[in-house]
A and B are shown apart, each in its own frame.
Chain A
Amino acid sequence: MSPSKKDKKNSFESSLKRLEEIVETLERGDIPLEDALTMYEEGIQLSKVCVEKLTQAELKLKKFLRQVDGKFKLQNEKTPE
């Protein structure tokens, strides 16, 4: 994995990890009520982001092409069916 990928924000992975943290913190219950509410809101927001990602319908297919100059190009492909 390239470094640029790792710190990409709002990736599904980081959203899900944060959501898990929130659930655990709320489970421990050692924070003030106001913070709990804020976290709860964040958690709902994150779950929304994740659900949106999961309900995305179309898979993206691209063809990898090496050009004469040695550079790479991605070409959109139709998925069969």
Chain B
Amino acid sequence: MKQNSRTETHVYSVTEITRRIRGTLEREFPEVWVQGEISNFKQHTSGHIYFTVKDEGAQLSAVIWRSRTDALLFTPQNGMKIIAQGRITVYEVRGIYQLDVHELHPIGIGELQLAFEQLKEKLLKEGLFDPAHKKPLPEFPERIGIVTSPTGAAIRDIINIISRRFPAVELILTPVRVQGYGAAAEIVQAIGDLNAYAEVDVIIVGRGGGSLEDLWAFNEEVVARAIYESAIPIISAVGHEVDFSISDFVADLRAPTPSAAAELVVRNRLELLDIIRNFCYTMTQHLQNFIESGRQRIQHLVESYSFNQPRDLVRQYSQRVDEVHRRLGELLTHRFELLRRKVEGLQKRIESVNPDQVVRRGYVIVYRDGELISSVKRLRLNDVVKMKFRDGVAKSRVESG
């Protein structure tokens, strides 16, 4: 009997038994969902992620291969409660079984919410949200850095709105992924790059709306710190229905959506055109007042002297006054009239947009040495000037002036 049982006993090699175990496990657990807490989280330089899922009674080794890390919606952290979906495999070389993770989900929103609250509390205490640290935004930025996805709705919305409001700017798009594992690192890099480049006046960092998981990159500590350390003012523009993200608290300005950020970053050109139009009107009014009060002073002089002074003195004075009056009249009728027409022309151009409209309507523009001559006072006898007509340019010489 003893002999018998001995011959029937099969002796496995280690490889053989491991293969059998592997076969059994892989057949038995091709797809499982495992719930537990992350510990020993480690990302290898190869890009693969290793960690342990544990509960009170046991622990399970887990791996996320690099090819799958892109699909992660958040950065896993030690202590986080998660549900992992994957299959059980055996790593024969070390004789261990492990969970090959395909998807990782935080348990409910609660887990992310908790991480959010903890980080918010921590950064608040550190002073990252301090209003005194917030930088003022430039009133008229010329170059605007945009850190967002090149294919998302955010960049399209921003382009549309700025094109409408104030197109005389340059948008510098720094393309990044805005969700998934690795997005936070790309956002940090982009903010750093734009600071090193130093040629943008303000940066918009954001993306369109999504779930808390989708928006998670904007709740990561590294992103918050990059925003805090930026020397260039930053507008956080993460599309939420109701909530804030950490980046909103730390940014110099929070916009509820990318569209709103575009509205905040540039002024509306129609308003500005109105302001300039008003400036022109006010200037013209004041200049008229100047001339009018001059005229009244002369009038006053004429009247008072003619009553109180001997005749020849009166004549002398009135001759001088006439002279001044005549010169003022010239100013009024010629120079001022020219300027007034220019204002009118400008106002028409504000409406018509096209700068050549004036010439096309039959006005002539006079240049000397490439410089626009807007006043006869600036012309000398024999000056050669170019006159721009609607159908060409004529050279001419000034014969009087």
Question: Could you tell me which A residues sit within 8 Å of B by CB distance?
Answer: 1-2, 5, 11-13, 16, 19-20, 22-23, 26-27, 29, 33, 36-37, 40-41, 43-45, 47-48, 50-64, 66, 72, 74, 77, 79-80
Contact = CB atoms under 8 A, between A and B. Distances in A.
Interface in B264-303: 269, 272-273, 276, 279-280, 282-284, 286-287, 289-291, 294
A35 to B, nearest CB: 10
A53 B4 CA distance: 101
Interface string B113-149: 0000000000000000000000000111010010000
Contacts of A60: 169-171
Top 4 A-B residue pairs of the complex, sorted by shortest distance between their CB atoms: A26-B286, A59-B167, A13-B140, A56-B168
B276 A50 contact: yes
A51 B168 CA distance: 11
Interface of B: 138-140, 142, 145, 150, 156, 159, 162-163, 166-175, 189-190, 193-194, 196-199, 201, 232, 269, 272-273, 276, 279-280, 282-284, 286-287, 289-291, 294, 328, 331, 335-336, 339, 342-343, 346, 349-350, 353, 355, 374-375
A38 to B, nearest CB: 10
A48 to B, nearest CB: 6
9 contacts: A2-B199, A12-B168, A13-B138, A16-B272, A26-B283, A37-B335, A37-B339, A44-B280, A63-B172
Chain A interface secondary structure, helix, strand, loop or mixed? helix
A16 B342 CA distance: 18
B172 A62 contact: yes
Given A11-B140, A37-B287, A63-B175, A48 B159 contact: no
A26 B276 contact: no
A17 B188 CA distance: 36
Nearest to B175: A63
Given A20-B279, A27-B286, A61-B159, A13 B167 contact: no
Contacts of A80: 156, 159
A20 B278 CA distance: 11
Nearest to A35: B290
Given A1-B201, A13-B140, A79-B159, A54 B269 contact: yes
A58 B167 contact: yes
Contacts of A29: 286, 289-290
Contacts of A22: 283
Given A23-B279, A33-B291, A64-B145, A50 B272 contact: yes
Residue of B138, B193, B287 with most partner-chain A CB within 10 A: B287
Given A13-B140, A29-B290, A41-B375, A57 B346 contact: no
